[in-house]
Structure 1
Amino acid sequence: MSFLNSLNISASALTAQRQRLDIISENVANIDTTRTEAGGAYRRKLVVLEDKAGDLSFKDSLNRAVVEKDANGRLVRQDYSPGVRVSAIVEDQSALKTEYNPQHPDADADGYVQRPNVNMLEETIDSMSASRSYQANVVVLNAVKLMAQKALEIGK
């Protein structure tokens, strides 16, 4: 694997974790939203990550990574972009919270208000996980950069 592939993998992970943090921020910002444009209380959103290669088997992934020779004997590499991507942003279908508050403008006939299914503890843990993943990929980027600098110094 070339160092450029390493950079691409880490860059895709940074992008995915940034989007994950954006969704977590949106969830926290809407923790008290009882009315949305779609109607009803806000539903927690979740980020679904997947391998950029899709549903390739290990054998197929290995074959794509192998350097081959073309008809002229030159080394060629199949076009393959490893990494991670956000495949979907889905709404959490767990039950909404209910709260008895007959004075609330969104209360039903019985006086109950539908509250978002956002749990601050879960969002905090998810944000810590996304931040740690982001930091780990920054470390990888810096390590690859340092290796490239040291390789350039060899030629001096």
Structure 2
Amino acid sequence: MGAFDMMNIAGSGLSMHQTWLDTLSYNIANVNTVRATSENAFQAQYLMAQAQDGASGVRVSGIAQGDPEGRLVYQPDHPLADEEGYVRMPDIDLGSQMSQLIMAQRGFQAQSSVIKNAQDVYQSALSIGRNA
């Protein structure tokens, strides 16, 4: 393992966690998006991550889309309701999204700490070399 591999691995994790946080924020912001039953529901985004090919670390391999069917909710007073009183809502579990948000935040913090510690170690090594 090279001198800067730790920073590269942590950097890839930091990038992946940032993308995960972005997708979760997008889902949470749209959890109450209402559409007419003739339209597709808001589609949640789900991060797909995998190990980097031929290198250490992780990368975002794609963003999967949620179910366009969503769920039908009876809201006869809503302006988008059909003649039977239904609207289409996204099929997003807010509790699951919030739990994942906490995991993504913790992962981001952990990767940030690794990078900070690696920088401190490299800085100490450089100062030792200057004093010799």
Q: Shorter-chain TM-score category? A: 0.7 to 0.9
Tell me which residue corresponds to 1:42. Answer: 42
Q: Shift of the alpha carbon at 1:51?
A: 0.8
Tell me which residue corresponds to 2:81. Answer: 107
Answer with 1 or 2: which has the greater Rg: 1
Which blocks of at least 5 consecutive residues in structure 1 are unaligned?
A: 54-79
Which amino acid is 2:127 matched to? E
For the 8 Å contact 1:99–1:115, the answer to whether it is kept is: yes
For the 8 Å contact 2:32–2:89, the answer to whether it is kept is: yes
Q: Distance in 2 between matches of 1:14 and 1:20?
A: 10
Length-normalised TM-score, structure 1: 0.73
Q: Distance in 2 between matches of 1:26 and 1:136?
A: 22
Q: Return 141-150 or 41-50, whichever deviates more.
A: 141-150
Identity in percent: 31
For the 8 Å contact 2:35–2:87, the answer to whether it is kept is: no
Does the alignment pair 1:2 with 2:2?
yes
For the 8 Å contact 2:41–2:68, the answer to whether it is kept is: no
Total equivalences in the alignment: 128
Q: Distance in 1 between matches of 2:118 and 2:124?
A: 10
Which blocks of at least 5 consecutive residues in structure 2 are unaligned?
A: none
Tell me which residue corresponds to 1:130. Answer: 104
Give the one of 119, 123, 136 matched to 2:93.
119
Tell me which residue corresponds to 1:51. Answer: 51
Tell me which residue corresponds to 1:96. Answer: 70
Deviations 1:70-119 (A, max 9, x none): xxxxxxxxxx5421111111112396232111232332332221211122
Does the alignment pair 1:23 with 2:20?
no
Tell me which residue corresponds to 1:67. Answer: none
Q: Shift of the alpha carbon at 1:5?
A: 1.3
Which amino acid is 2:23 matched to? I
Q: Distance in 1 between matches of 2:35 and 2:9?
A: 39
Supply the RMSD in Å over aligned alpha carbons.
2.0
Residue 4 of structure 2: SS of its match in structure 1?
helix
